Amino acid sequence: MAASGHKDFPDEQHLASFANRFAAVVRAPLVIWLRGELGSGKTTFARALIQALGYRGRVKSPTYGLLEHYPINGLQVLHLDLYRIGDPDELEFLGLADLLDENTIVLLEWPEKSGRWLPEPDFVFDFSYTGHGRGLAWSACSPGARSSGVERL
């Protein structure tokens, strides 16, 4: 059974603040699916989370390169954006399975395009437009995610 929650954010700053609080309670290994329409907050959240985990450089959108890798204090954060994928079999060439270990956090935008190539999520985040900002509904799908305390954020 998945634990779930929902929050509305009036602007990007509030979404980034949530990403900071989320970073404080989650641990690797972790797979997070980021779903929602274009511009609904997926990349904004991913950037804020990567920075909250300790990355000090520029966080690029992986829209064109598909995968960005961020080494952070013994962790590796993989940020994927599958929006431009035409066929899920294209992911085989990324060698993602070889990159996953106990120190990896995966942030995956557009997971519905992945077919069979990606691991099951620990969290599913669904971003949406609201009348005055963005909404975020989440499900904690794995035992570790359910015990993370994210529902109290």
Strand order in the sheet with 133-140: 3-9, 133-140, 123-130, 30-35, 104-109, 75-81, 67-72
Residues 9-49 pLDDT 10s: 999 999 999 999 999 998 999 999 999 999 899 999 999 99
Encode pLDDT of 97-143 as tens digits.
778 899 999 999 998 887 766 778 999 999 999 888 999 999 999 99
Q: Is residue 51 part of a domain?
A: yes
Query: Domain count of the chain?
Result: 1
Rounded distance between C-alpha atoms, residue 134 and residue 62, angstroms:
21
151, part of any domain: no
pLDDT score of 51: 96
Confirm whether 16 is domain-assigned: yes
153 within domain boundaries: no
Q: Is residue 148 part of a domain?
A: no
In a domain, 52, yes or no: yes
Domain enclosing residue 39, as ranges? 7-142
Sequence-distant (≥ 6) Cβ neighbours of residue 141 within 8 angstroms: 2, 120, 121, 122, 123, 124
Q: Pick the residue with more confidence: 77 or 92?
A: 77
* CATH number of the domain enclosing 130: 3.40.50.300
CA distance 17 to 124: 19
Structural contact between residues 81 and 99, judged by C-beta atoms closer than 8 angstroms: no
What's the length of the chain?
153
149 within a domain of the structure (yes/no) = no
Buried/exposed 10-39: b ≥16 CB within 10 Å, e otherwise: eeeeebbebbeebbeebebbbbbbbbbeee
Domain-embedded: residue 56: yes
